[in-house]
A and B are shown apart, each in its own frame.
Chain A
Amino acid sequence: MKAPRIAGTRLGRRDPTVPPWLFVVPALVVYAFVVLYPSIAGVVYAFTDWSGIGSFSFVGLDNFHTLLHDDRALASVGNTLLLTVAIVVVQNAIGLLLALGVNTNIRSKALLRVVFFAPAVVSPVMVAFLWKYVYNPENGAGLNGILGAVGLGGLRQDWLGNPSLTLWSVAGMVVWQYAGYSMVIFLAGLQGVPAELHEAARIDGAGAWQRFRYVTWPLLAPALTINLMLSTIGGLKLFDQVYAATDGGPGTSSETLSTVLYKEAFVYGKFGYSTAVALVLALFVAAVSLIQLRYLRAREVTA
Chain B
Amino acid sequence: MSTGSRSLPGRGTVSRRGLLRVGGGVVAATALPSLLTACGGGGSGGKVRIVGVADEQKPITQLLAAYRKSHPDFKASTSFAPTDDVQTVVRTQLAGGNAPDIHVLYPGSGSAMSMVELAKAGLLADLSDMAWTKTIPKSFDAAYRRDGKTYLYSAGSSIIGAIYNKKVFADAGVKPPTTWSELLDVCATLKAKGIIPIALGAQTPWVTQLITYALVPNAVYAKDPTFDDEMAAGRATFADSGWADAMGKYLDLQKRGFFNDHPDGTTYEQQTSMVATGKAAMAVQVSSVLSVFRAAAKNPDDLSMFPFPGGDDPAQLWIPAGIVVGLGVSARAKNATKARQFIEFLGTQENLNAWTTAVSAIPLQRDSTTKLDPALSEFLPIIDADRAVPFMDQRWPNAEVQPAHFAAVQDLLAGKTDVKGALTQMDKAYGKKS
Interface residues as binary, B94-111 with A (CB distance below 8 Å gives 1, 0 otherwise):
110000000000000000
Is B400 among interface residues, defined by CB-CB distance under 8 A?
yes
Given contacts A53-B94, A266-B112, A267-B112, contact A160 B265 (CB under 8 A): yes
Kindly state whether residue A103 has any CB partner on chain B within 8 Å. Answer: no
Q: How long is the Cα–Cα vector from A135 to B266 in the complex, in angstroms?
A: 9
Task: Report whether B5 and A6 are in contact in the complex, using a CB–CB cutoff of 8 Å.
Answer: yes
Chain A interface, number of residues (Cβ within 8 angstroms): 39
Query: CB within 8 Å of A: which of B1-31?
Result: 1-3, 5-6, 8, 11-12, 15, 19, 22, 25-26, 29-30
User: By CB atoms of chain A within 10 A, which of B261, B263, B265, B269 has the most?
Assistant: B265
A250 in contact with B264 (CB, 8 Å): yes
Q: A239 interface residue, CB < 8 Å from B? A: no
A194 on the interface (CB 8 Å rule)? no
Is B91 at the interface (CB under 8 A from chain A)? yes
Interface positions, chain A 236-271, Cβ under 8 Å from B, are 246-252, 263, 266-269
B11 touches A269 (CB 8 A): no
Per-residue interface assignment for chain B, residues 44 to 82, with 1 indicating a CB less than 8 Å from any chain A CB and 0 otherwise: 000000000000000000000000000000000000000
Q: A249-B203, A267-B87, A268-B112 are in contact. Are A6 and B8 (CB under 8 A)?
A: yes
Residues in A with CB closer than 8 Å to B1 are: 1, 4
A10, B11: Cβ atoms closer than 8 Å? yes
Question: Taking the complex as formed, is B385 at the interface, i.e. its CB lies under 8 A from any CB of chain A?
Answer: no
Question: Are the CB atoms of B265 and A158 closer together than 8 Å?
Answer: yes
Q: Which chain A residues numbered 285 to 302 have a C-beta less than 8 Å away from chain B?
A: none
B411 at the interface (CB under 8 A from A): yes
- Interface status of B365 (Cβ within 8 A of chain A): no
B400 and A249 contacting across the interface, CB-CB below 8 Å: no
Determine, out of A25-33, A109-117, A196-204, A206-214, the stretch whose residues face the partner at the interface: A25-33
CB distance from A112 to the nearest CB of B (A): 32
Q: Which of chain A's residues has its CB closest to B1's CB?
A: A4
Tell me whether A163 and B95 are in contact (CB under 8 A): no
Cβ-defined partner of B264 (8 Å) among A138, A158, A263: A158
Whether A4 lies near B270 (C-beta < 8 A) is no
| Complex interface: chain A residues within 8 A of B94 (CB) | 53
User: Taking A26-B26, A52-B95, A161-B263 as contacts, is the C-beta distance between A251 and B411 under 8 angstroms?
Assistant: yes
Give the CA-CA distance A267 to B263 in the complex, in Å.
Answer: 24
A161 touches B91 (CB 8 A): no
Say whether, besides A2-B3, A10-B12, A263-B403, A54 and B121 are in contact (CB < 8 Å).
yes
Interface bits B324-359 vs A (CB < 8 Å: 1, else 0): 000000000000000000000000000000000000
Question: Would A267 and B22 be within 8 Å (CB), given that A4-B2, A158-B262, A161-B262 are in contact?
Answer: no
Q: How far is the CA of A250 from the CA of B22 in the complex (A)?
A: 52
Contact of A1 among B2, B262, B264, B398 (CB under 8 A): B2
B121/A6 in contact, CB under 8 A:
no
Q: Mark B370-412, 1 if CB is under 8 A from A, else 0.
A: 0000000000000000000000000000111001001110110
Residue of A3, A29, A267 with most chain B CB atoms under a 10 A cut-off: A267
Kindly list chain B residues whose C-beta atoms are within 8 Å of the C-beta of A248.
407
Q: Which residue of the partner chain, among A3, A53, A162, contacts B95 with CB atoms under 8 Å?
A: A53
> Shortest beta-carbon distance, B110 to chain A, in Å?
11
CB-based contact A132/B267 at 8 Å: yes
Q: Provide the bound-state CA to CA distance between A136 and B204, in Å.
A: 12
Residues of A within 8 Å of B118, CB to CB, are 53
A267 pairs with B403, CB closer than 8 A: yes
State whether the Cβ of A137 lies closer than 8 Å to any Cβ in chain B: yes
Neighbouring A residues of B87 by C-beta, 8 Å: 266-267
Most buried by B among A26, A29, A161: A161
Decide if B88 is an interface residue (CB 8 Å cutoff): yes
Question: Are the C-beta atoms of A30 and B203 separated by less than 8 Å?
Answer: no
A137 & B262 in contact (Cβ 8 Å cutoff): yes
Contacts between the two chains (Cβ within 8 Å), count: 130
> CA–CA, A266 to B123, complex, Å?
17
**A159, CB-defined interface residue at 8 Å:** yes
Q: Does B416 reach chain A (CB closer than 8 Å)? A: yes
* CA of A162 to CA of B209, assembled, Å: 19
- Report chain B residues within 8 Å CB of A247: 205
Q: Tell me the smallest distance from the CB of A53 to a CB of chain B, in Å.
A: 5
B247 within 8 A of A: no
- Inter-chain CA distance A269–B432, complex, in Å, is 12
For B12, list chain A residues within 8 Å (CB).
10
Interface contact A250-B411, CB-CB below 8 Å: yes
Interchain CB contact under 8 A, A269 and B407: no
A4-B2, A267-B403 known; A246 vs B270 contact (CB < 8 Å): no
C-alpha gap A7/B434 in the complex (Å): 61
Asked if B205 and A30 sit within 8 Å, CB to CB, the answer is no
Q: Chain B residues with Cβ under 8 A from A54's Cβ?
A: 121-122
Interface pair A266/B414, CB less than 8 Å apart: no
Q: Are B203 and A160 in contact (CB under 8 A)?
A: yes
Interface residues of B in 244-264 (CB under 8 A from A): 260-264
A5 within 8 A of B: yes
Residues of A within 8 A of B25 (CB): 26
Once bound together, how far apart are the Cα atoms of A294 and B87, in whole Å? 41
**A4-B1, A6-B5 known; A268-B88 Cβ under 8 A:** no
Among B5, B19, B29, B413, point to the contact of A30 (Cβ < 8 A).
B29
Query: Knowing A53-B121, A162-B265, A269-B112 touch, does A251 contact B26 (C-beta < 8 A)?
Result: no
0/1 interface trace, chain A 5-41, chain B, CB 8 Å (1 if under): 1110010000000000000001001100100000000
Tell me the bound Cα distance from A131 to B402 in angstroms: 26
Smallest CB-CB separation from B94: which chain A residue?
Answer: A53
By a beta-carbon cutoff of 8 Å, the part of chain A in contact with chain B is 1-7, 10, 26, 29-30, 33, 51-54, 132, 135-138, 158-163, 246-252, 263, 266-269
- A sample of 23 inter-chain contacts (CB < 8 A) reads A1-B1, A4-B5, A5-B6, A7-B5, A7-B15, A29-B26, A30-B29, A33-B26, A33-B30, A51-B434, A52-B91, A52-B92, A158-B262, A158-B265, A163-B414, A250-B203, A250-B407, A250-B416, A251-B408, A251-B410, A251-B414, A251-B417, A269-B117
Seed contacts A1-B1, A250-B264, A266-B88; 16 additional CB < 8 Å A-B pairs: A7-B11, A26-B26, A51-B121, A52-B112, A160-B264, A161-B264, A162-B414, A163-B414, A163-B416, A250-B407, A250-B414, A251-B410, A251-B416, A263-B403, A266-B87, A269-B91
A-B CB proximity, top 6 nearest? A161-B265, A161-B264, A250-B410, A137-B262, A2-B2, A137-B265
